[in-house]
Structure 1
Amino acid sequence: MAEHTIDRRVFLAAAVTTVVAVSSGSLAHAATGGAAGPAEPNYRIPIGPDDTPEQLLAKAARVRPTKRQIAWQELEQTAFLHFGVNTFTGLEWGTGDEDPNVFQPTGLDTDQWARALRDGGFKLAILTVKHHDGFVLYPSRYTRHSVASSSWRQGRGDVLRSFADSMRKYGIKVGVYISPADENQYADGVYANGSKRSTRTIPTLVDGDDRAGGDLTTFTLDATDYGAHMLNQLYEVLTEYGPVDEVWFDGSQGRIPEGKAETYDWDSWYAVIRELAPQATVAVRGPDVRWVGNEGGLARENEWSVIPVKDTGNGSIDYALHYYAPDQGSRDALAQSRSVAQYLQWWPAECDVSIRPGWFYHADQRPKSVDQLADIWFRSVGRNSVLLLNIPPDRNGLLPAADVARLKEFRERIDRELPEDLAAGARVSDDDEGTRTVDLGTDQEVDRIRLAEDIRHGQQVEQFVVEAQVGGAWTEVAHAGTIGASRVLVLPVPVRARRWRLRVTQHRNDPHISLFGLYRSRV
């Protein structure tokens, strides 16, 4: 390990300061949510209780996504893979004292996972590297509750390695979920043990550590005992398994006695992720992406990416309004949040849902129908959000045949819902009033409309109408509120017209429309 320290700087994580020292490596200067290097402008803008409604609106119009957030939004459809000891015990929330030998996926084939996800149209997949039980799907140096303690593959199995290799082989980006809650570490006296934050060196080398003596980048960060445990596991995952494009956290606490809790060291965790995986989106208990507020995969009718947030006090941010609130970013919501919010932030929504009733595999459960999945797609991707669909591997280590078939049918269904864009190559004209007119050249039937703003310029559209010229007169065929990165409208009946137009009737700043697509479904 190189001992020379070449830098010592301060990470600002949502107003909580964490001192970070790095040995044998460069330290990225970052603010929570910003890219490595100088923070990107206008990702998060401070507000206060004295801001007028007009000032709040003007600030909201200036908020912009980071490049990382733009890349994440373009994924549209991502996959979750809940897999672990729960797969074999039948539980949804494990106990932490499972016999590791229960984990026996003797037919594990992560290439099969990757092929099914590719054929289903997924661009990124997230593996439950550690769920709330604390069982780890790779041979970690920091716990015995892992695949290394199972007789599966003679204790040499590594699901994370296989998963990462297979996803990249089939062109799918890699994401990891590492549960903050950890029942096993609670039983071991580490989680929620009341320890105070103190300076820790990460990684913390253990007896016989194969990394000792190497040119190892190390961090000095403030953390509790459990916070350091998480930092050490993050370090393993982010340095030994290739590029990671999403790190997924939730905010769950372990099922521990009342009066005990672990205050998570979000600031230090984010700092290490930003340094070791600067391209990675941190979701949904993270600065880049938020939880939509339900596990049904459904966004709000008008889903804003610019919303008011508040500090949690330990390096993270949270909804200023309750996460169940049906309105998070309108003019009324901005005004309502003034007394509790500290910032307006670009914090887009991720919609998580499982293809089956449970998150882990259960033999008596069946996947959702194609109609159900299509409805979820229109109410997530079609409402300015990214869909995170869970497909749980079974006890053999395979995605069930019924689920694989359903994923392919799902992709084919969306392809039929939105076939070729009739407006592609059509004559388009824009005016200074926020109106775009498309001339298809001949009358065409349309029953699906897809819209998008160029979110590099923020989210500006508050109200719009779509009209068709029918019988020589402009006739409204649809209207709605927000657009954002993606808005898909389903017309109750097809409308035949040659000329179509989008009129933005209320906006914050000049709208930048990047897509006005017209489709005739083949459903």
Structure 2
Amino acid sequence: MAVSRRLFVTAATALAVTGPPALPASAAPADPRYRIPVSPDDTEADLVRKASQVRPTARQIAWQRLERTAFLHFGVNTFTGLEWGTGDEDPEVFQPVGLDTDQWARALRDGGFELAILTVKHHDGFVLYPSRYTDHSVRSSSWRDGRGDVLRSFADSMRRHGIKVGVYVSPADENQYLHGVYANGSARAEHVIPTPVPGDDRSPRRSYALPATDYGAHMLNQLYEVLTEYGPIDEVWFDGAQGRIPPDKVEKYDWDSWYTLVRSLAPDAAIAVSGPDVRWVGNEGGLAREDEWSVVPVQEKDYGRTDYALAYDAADMGSRDALVKAQPVADYLQWWPAECDVSIRDGWFYHADQQPKTVDELTDIYFRSVGRNSVLLLNIPPDTDGLLPAADVVRLREFRDRVDDELPQDLARGARTTTGPDRVTIDLGSEREVDRIRLAEDVRYGQQVESFVVEARVDGAWTEVTRAGTIGLSRILTLPAAVRAGQWRVRVTGARSVVRVAEFGLYRSRV
């Protein structure tokens, strides 16, 4: 696509390496059009125009700027050695006698993480806080005389060390299936949330009448506990897993009611990855696509769940071709950025015979997730003592140091910058070696770049050093060999609408 002379726009703040001004997550978005309806009658030009008009919400921008987030899979599986529990575990097996969530928080802080998500409930249904709505919880273990509360300790420790708090509450629940609640075939009916139980001393400021199945109401009550009793929650993580049950016993999840409750009780929280704010990238290897779009075609299914219009692991999720291919089934074009989940070990839960990935492996994942317009979600499973393993703690710090060495001081900071119709040029004032380039669009105005080249002025002539497709909020390019030049430019060769560059960083790695 040819770039018009009005296409490239940069503001003074956008040219600063610090990027666009920060938006508080609670602020109303500058443009609320995070999803735009599409029609079977839309032409390709219509679809591209609509895609160019999609804007992220403030909470989505705040989430994506985190770049690296942590996952902590912890529960009865830690002690049984399973990855997917059965629901009939004896709660007595849960004995993390050395639990130290401050140790978790220190390791994550030192590793460069700003948000951590705890598996408050995995598929087995065991709950890491004393819920009123199930006996399959820490309350039924002799650990800490039945008064233990991992979620309380986790939330307090994370906030004490400046880390945001996320919760994973599994929709699947093997224990509730054994109790005849999950997938019992009940029809949706109105339930009052929170539902009072014997001895309930709560005086909720507000209750909610929401449609749900029997199990859907169980989830709503547990979400209410988590979101009202454990301080501000910054991310609520759902997957779409079904329990390991007969195929005729599928539980159709009450997504609309769950989303409504989360939005009311935690309005700043991103809902991922079976949620409207964040999507799963499509693999558990932590790898984004070469060109990862935040604007993708979606369909709405199953009581309001945001779902893929294309296959979840499609090689192309948002290009022009993808927009056209998805048109027959798409309901909207939506800002739905990718989260790349991967475990530091082979399993999601701790297994003593496994070792953490190498620094080289983690660094490669970083460049292929954060460097491709996505957020990295790295799982670090606590062990049976309730600690992050020493080898993993060391590896987290080594990983952070390696990223800092890959992207040290930005050589373009404070350099003279000029703009043209389709380009941004940086004059460093003297020749410097560069082997890493970081780019960002000001995504408050959407994701627009479809292709670009980076050039350096070498021996008096502009020479291409690399090219790529999308940019989005974060694109990091590594050069096979350092290039020495004093003048650098990024030139957009294809775009959907006006391009606003928020960052053009030049680095010489210390690796």
Interval containing the TM-score (normalised by the shorter chain) = over 0.9
Deviation (angstroms), 1:43: 0.6
1:438 deviates by 0.3
SS for the counterpart of 1:259 is helix
**Are positions 1:375 and 2:375 aligned together?**
no
Contact 2:382 2:388 in 1 (8 A): yes
Matches within 5 A, 1:30-179: 41-179=32-170
Of the three residues 315, 339, 353, the one matched with 2:304 is 315
How far is 1:36 from its partner? 9.3
Partner SS, residue 268 of structure 1: helix
Residue matched to 2:457: 469
Measured in 1, the distance between the counterparts of 2:76 and 2:205 equals 33
Q: How many angstroms does 1:257 deviate by?
A: 1.0
Change (3 A) 1:40 1:197: farther
- In 2, the alpha carbon distance for the partners of 1:490 and 1:222 equals 51
Q: Secondary structure of the equivalent of 1:256? A: coil
Does 304-313 or 360-369 show the bigger shift? 304-313
Given that residues 27 and 58 in structure 2 are in contact (C-alpha distance below 8 angstroms), is that contact kept between their aligned partners in structure 1? no
CA contact (8 A) 1:36 1:274 kept: no
Deviation per residue, 1:193-237 (Å, 9 max, x gap): 0000001000001001121xx253100000000000000000000
What residue number does 1:440 align with?
Answer: 428
Contact 1:250 1:284 in 2 (8 A): yes
Residue 357 in 1 paired to residue 358 in 2?
A: no
What SS class does the counterpart of residue 442 from structure 1 fall into? strand
Q: Tell me what 2:472 maps to.
A: 484
In the TM superposition, what is the alpha-carbon distance from 1:258 to its structure 2 partner? Answer: 2.1
Of 245, 250, 254, which aligns to 1:256?
Answer: 245
How many residues are paired up?
Answer: 487
Q: Give runs of ≥4 in structure 1 deviating > 4 Å.
A: 34-40
Does the Cα contact within 8 Å between 1:36 and 1:275 map onto a contact in 2?
no
Aligned-pair distance for 1:39? 11
Partner of 1:348: 337
CA drift at 1:260 = 1.1
Read off the aligned partner of 1:500 and give its amino acid letter: W
2:128 maps to amino acid: L
2:159 partner letter: R
Corresponding position of 1:498: 486
In structure 2, what is the equivalent of residue 394 of structure 1? 383
Contact 1:305 1:349 in 2 (8 A): yes
CA distance in 1, matches of 2:94, 2:201: 26
Q: Name 2:284's counterpart in structure 1.
A: 295
Q: Which of the numbers 293, 313, 328 marks the counterpart of 1:304?
A: 293
Work out whether residues 35 and 66 of structure 1, in 8 Å CA contact, stay in contact via their aligned partners in 2.
Answer: no
Question: Is this contact kept in 1: 2:30–2:444, CA < 8 A?
Answer: no
C-alpha distance after superposition, 1:372-425 (max 9, x if no partner): 000000000000000000000000000000000000000000000000000000
Q: Describe the SS at the equivalent of 2:249.
A: coil
> What do residues 316-374 of structure 1 show as CA deviations (whole Å, max 9, x unaligned)?
11110001110010000001111000100000000000000000000000000000000
60-69 or 40-49: which moved more? 40-49
Q: CA deviation at 1:299?
A: 0.1
Shift of 1:41: 2.2
* Preserved contact between residue 36 and residue 278 of structure 1 (Cα < 8 Å): no
SS at match of 1:91: coil
Q: Which amino acid is 1:469 matched to?
A: R
CA apart distance, 1:259: 1.2
Amino acid at match of 2:266: A
Q: Secondary structure at the match of 1:84?
A: coil
Give, in whole Å, the separation in 2 of the partners of 1:166 and 1:328. Answer: 38
CA distance in 1, matches of 2:504, 2:28: 35
Asked if 1 retains the 8 angstrom alpha-carbon contact of 2:429 and 2:486, the reply is: yes
1:455 correspondence with 2:446: no
Taking the TM superposition and a 5 Å limit, the aligned residue runs for 1:1-40 are none
The one-letter code of the counterpart of 2:137 is S
1:270 is aligned to 2:259 = yes
**What whole-Å deviation, never above 9, does each CA across 1:8-48 have from its counterpart, x for those lacking one?**
xxxxxxxxxxxxxxxxxxxxxxxxxx989899621100001
CA contact (8 A) 1:72 1:281 kept: yes
- Cα distance between partner residues in 1 of 2:414 and 2:159: 34
| Structure 2 gap segments, 5+ residues each | 1-24
> What is residue 28 of structure 1 aligned with on the other side?
none
User: AA paired with 2:240?
Assistant: G
Q: Which amino acid aligns with 2:84?
A: W
411-420 or 308-317: bigger deviation = 308-317
Q: CA deviation at 1:314?
A: 1.2
Question: Relative contact order (alpha carbons < 8 A, sep ≥ 6): 1 or 2 greater?
Answer: 2
Cα 1:48–1:39, aligned 2, differ >3 Å: closer, same or farther? Answer: farther
CA contact under 8 A between 2:339 and 2:377: conserved in structure 1? yes
Change (3 A) 1:58 1:38: closer
Task: Confirm or deny: 8 A CA contact 2:29 2:57 kept in the other structure.
Answer: no
How many angstroms does 1:93 deviate by?
A: 0.1
Which runs of 5 or more residues in structure 1 are unaligned? 1-33
Classify the secondary structure of the residue corresponding to 2:132.
Answer: coil
C-alpha distance in structure 1 between counterparts of 2:103 and 2:282, whole Å: 31
Instruction: Name the CA distance, whole Å, in 2 between partners of 1:156 and 1:89.
Output: 22
2:96–2:384 contact (8 Å) kept in structure 1:
yes
Instruction: Check whether the contact 1:361–1:393 (CA below 8 A) recurs between aligned residues.
Output: yes
Could you tell me how far apart the structure 2 residues matched to 1:415 and 1:443 are? 23
CA gap of 1:37–1:69, structure 2 versus 1, over 3 A, is closer
Tell me which of 325, 339, 352 is aligned to 2:314.
325
Query: 2: CA distance between counterparts of 1:459 and 1:466?
Result: 18
1:37 and 1:465 map into 2 onto residues whose CA distance is: 35
Asked whether the equivalents of residues 439 and 503 of structure 2 are also in contact (C-alpha less than 8 Å), the reply is yes
| Mapped pair 1:410 → 2:404 | no
> Could you tell me whether the CA contact under 8 Å between 1:355 and 1:389 is conserved in 2?
yes
Q: What amino acid does structure 2 have at the position aligned with 1:97?
A: D
Deviation at 1:313, TM superposition (A): 3.4
**Residue number in structure 2 paired with 1:4:** none
Give the superposed CA RMSD.
1.2
Q: What percentage of aligned pairs have identical amino acids?
A: 74
Q: Deviations over 1:133-163 (max 9, x none)?
A: 0000000000000000000000000000000
Q: What SS class does the counterpart of residue 512 from structure 1 fall into?
A: strand
- Conserved in 1, the CA contact under 8 Å of 2:255 and 2:302? no
Q: CA separation of 1:40/1:506 partners in 2, compared to 1, >3 Å: closer, same or farther? A: closer
* Alignment partners' CA distance in 1, 2:326 and 2:367: 29
Provide the C-alpha distance between the structure 2 equivalents of 1:152 and 1:350, rounded to a whole number of angstroms. Answer: 35
